[in-house]
Amino acid sequence: MTEDENHYYAVKTTSKQERAVADAIYRNIERRLVDIKVVSVIVPEELKGYVIIESPEGRGRIQELVERIPSARSVIPGETKLEEVQHYLVPKPVVSGIEEGTIVELIAGPFKGEKAVVKRVDLGKEEITVELYESIVPIPITVRGDHVRVIERKSDE
């Protein structure tokens, strides 16, 4: 093992405290409260209850750091491989998981609060075309994917 070789460790956290744990790790490193080297801390959206720490340090040193952090429970035994965490580093399109027929609520823009049915999804532009539920004449409206909240998926019917 060379000195500049980084390792990846999964750290179990209290539920919904992943961001707080990552911030606490950052503060400890930034303020030099510990002499443990941490290259990065990843808080994957789809991996609830865990953060990933990238560090050249050994597992014991990371455990020392975790013991100082409120809401951080333990370091998962063994080392996590880069291949196992790499897919968390690529951002997902905001429209992933939304398909035609999904019922959404508009959460921004002039139609905020209105319910609509998804008619078309444009992955490239991260936009969706919807038709409002209560409109008498169906008018297609194109909005950004992050301006909607999914209420009911098509497969739920």
DSSP state of 48: T
Confidence class for position 1, pLDDT limits 50, 70, 90: very low
Give the mean model confidence (pLDDT) for residues 121-136. Answer: 87
Residue 50, burial from CB neighbour count under 10 angstroms (0-12, 13-18, 19+): middle
**How far, in Å, are 126, 147, 149 from residue 106 at the CA level?**
15, 6, 6
* pLDDT for res 155: 58
Give the mean model confidence (pLDDT) for residues 25-41. Answer: 89
Confidence class for position 12, pLDDT limits 50, 70, 90: very high
Give the separation between CA 9 and CA 44, rounded to whole angstroms. Answer: 13
Mean pLDDT for the chain overall:
86
pLDDT in tens, 50-109: 999 999 998 899 999 999 999 999 999 877 888 888 887 777 767 777 888 889 999 988
103-156 shares the fold of 7-89: no
Q: Which fold has domain 103-156?
A: SH3 type barrels. (2.30.30)
Residue 24 pLDDT exceeds 90: yes
Residue 4 pLDDT exceeds 80: no
CATH superfamily, domain at 7-89: NusG, N-terminal domain (3.30.70.940)
Sheet with strand 148-152: strands edge to edge? 140-144, 127-132, 115-122, 103-106, 148-152
Give the mean model confidence (pLDDT) for residues 143-157. Answer: 78
Give the separation between CA 134 and CA 148, rounded to whole angstroms. Answer: 16
The three-point CA angle 61-85-46 to 5° equals 110
When mean pLDDT is compared across 68-77, 96-105, 111-120, 146-155, the lowest value belongs to 146-155
Question: What are the residue ranges spanned by the domains of the chain?
Answer: 7-89, 103-156
When mean pLDDT is compared across 39-43, 85-89, 120-124, 151-155, the lowest value belongs to 151-155
Helices (H), 54-134: 59-68, 82-85
